[in-house]
Structure 1
Amino acid sequence: MKLTFQQIVDLASSGLQAAGIDAKSAYETAQFLALAEADGLASHGLARVAQYAGHAKSGRIALKASPRVQMFKSAAALVDARDGLAFPALRFATDLSVNLAANFGIGIVAVTNSHHFGVAGHYTEAAARAGYISLLFGNTPAAMPMAGGSKAIFGTNPLAAAFPVLNSNPLVIDMSLSAVARGKLLLAAKKGEAIPAGWALTADGKPTTDPQAGLQGLMVPLGGDKGALLALVIELLVVGLSGSQFSYEADSFFNAKGNRPRLGQLLITIDPGLSGKGIFQSRMNNFLAQVAQDRAVRLPGQRRFNLRAAAFLVGTEVPDALLEEIQAGIQQSWKI
Structure 2
Amino acid sequence: MKMTFEQVVDLASSGLRASGIDRKAAMETAQFLALAEADGLASHGLARVGQYASHAKNGRIELSAKPRATKYKTAAALVDACDGLAFPALKLATDLSVNLASKNGIGLVAVTNSHHFGVAGHYTEAAARAGYISLLFGNTPAAMPMAGGSKAIFGTNPLAAAFPVAKANPLVIDMSLSAVARGKLLVAAKKGESIPEGWALTIDGKPTTNPNEGLKGLMVPMGGDKGALLALIVELLVVGLSGSRFSYEADSFFDAQGNRPRIGQLLLTIDPGLAGGQVFANRMRDFLKVLASDAGVRLPGQRRFKQREIALAQGIDVGDAVLAEIQSGISRNWAK
Q: Which residue of 2 aligns with 1:126?
A: 126
Amino acid at match of 2:109: V
Q: Matches of 2:222 and 2:124 in 1, distance apart? A: 22
Q: Which residue of 1 aligns with 2:253?
A: 253
Partner SS, residue 7 of structure 1:
helix
Q: Which residue of 2 aligns with 1:147?
A: 147
Deviation at 1:131, TM superposition (A): 0.1
Amino acid at match of 1:15: G
Q: Matches of 2:92 and 2:79 in 1, distance apart? A: 9
Q: Structure 1-normalised TM-score?
A: 1.00
Q: Which residue of 1 aligns with 2:168?
A: 168
Matched, 1:65 2:65: yes
Q: Which runs of structure 2 are paired with 1:89-128 in the superposition (5 Å)?
A: 89-128=89-128
Amino acid at match of 1:101: A
Q: Matches of 1:158 and 1:322 in 2, distance apart? A: 24
Q: Which residue of 2 aligns with 1:187?
A: 187
- For residues 240-264 of structure 1, give each alpha carbon's deviation from its aligned partner in whole angstroms, at most 9, with x where no partner exists: 0000000000000000100000000
Q: Matches of 2:267 and 2:324 in 1, distance apart? A: 36
Q: Which runs of structure 2 are paired with 1:10-29 in the superposition (5 Å)?
A: 10-29=10-29
Deviation at 1:8, TM superposition (A): 0.2
Q: Which residue of 2 aligns with 1:138?
A: 138
Q: Which residue of 1 aligns with 2:207?
A: 207
Deviation at 1:320, TM superposition (A): 1.3
Partner SS, residue 165 of structure 2:
coil
Percent identity of paired positions between Structure 1 and Structure 2? 77
- For residues 75-97 of structure 1, give each alpha carbon's deviation from its aligned partner in whole angstroms, at most 9, with x where no partner exists: 00000000000000000000000
Task: Structure 1 unaligned segments of length 5 or more: list them.
Answer: none
Q: Which residue of 1 aligns with 2:85?
A: 85
Amino acid at match of 1:5: F
Deviation at 1:295, TM superposition (A): 1.1
Partner SS, residue 168 of structure 2:
coil
Deviation at 1:27, TM superposition (A): 0.1
- For residues 21-78 of structure 1, give each alpha carbon's deviation from its aligned partner in whole angstroms, at most 9, with x where no partner exists: 0000000000000000000000000000000000000000000001101100110000
Q: Matches of 1:293 and 1:257 in 2, distance apart? A: 52
Deviation at 1:321, TM superposition (A): 1.6
Q: Which residue of 2 aligns with 1:283?
A: 283
Deviation at 1:313, TM superposition (A): 0.3
Write out the 4+ residue segments of structure 1 that deviate beyond 3 Å after TM superposition. Answer: none
Q: Matches of 1:54 and 1:207 in 2, distance apart? A: 29
Q: Matches of 1:143 and 1:127 in 2, distance apart? A: 29
Amino acid at match of 1:27: M
Q: Which residue of 1 aligns with 2:75?
A: 75
Q: Matches of 1:27 and 1:295 in 2, distance apart? A: 41
- For residues 211-259 of structure 1, give each alpha carbon's deviation from its aligned partner in whole angstroms, at most 9, with x where no partner exists: 0000000000000000000000000000000000000000000001000
Q: Which runs of structure 2 are paired with 1:215-226 in the superposition (5 Å)?
A: 215-226=215-226
Q: Matches of 2:117 and 2:130 in 1, distance apart? A: 21
Amino acid at match of 2:42: A
Q: Matches of 1:66 and 1:315 in 2, distance apart? A: 33
Q: Matches of 1:321 and 1:139 in 2, distance apart? A: 29
Amino acid at match of 1:162: A
Partner SS, residue 164 of structure 1:
strand
Q: Matches of 2:201 and 2:275 in 1, distance apart? A: 46
Amino acid at match of 2:60: R
Partner SS, residue 169 of structure 2:
coil
Deviation at 1:197, TM superposition (A): 0.5
Amino acid at match of 1:255: D
Q: Matches of 1:318 and 1:107 in 2, distance apart? A: 37
Q: Structure 2-normalised TM-score?
A: 1.00
Amino acid at match of 2:102: A
- Report the count of equivalent residues: 336
Deviation at 1:272, TM superposition (A): 0.1
Deviation at 1:334, TM superposition (A): 0.2
Amino acid at match of 1:219: M
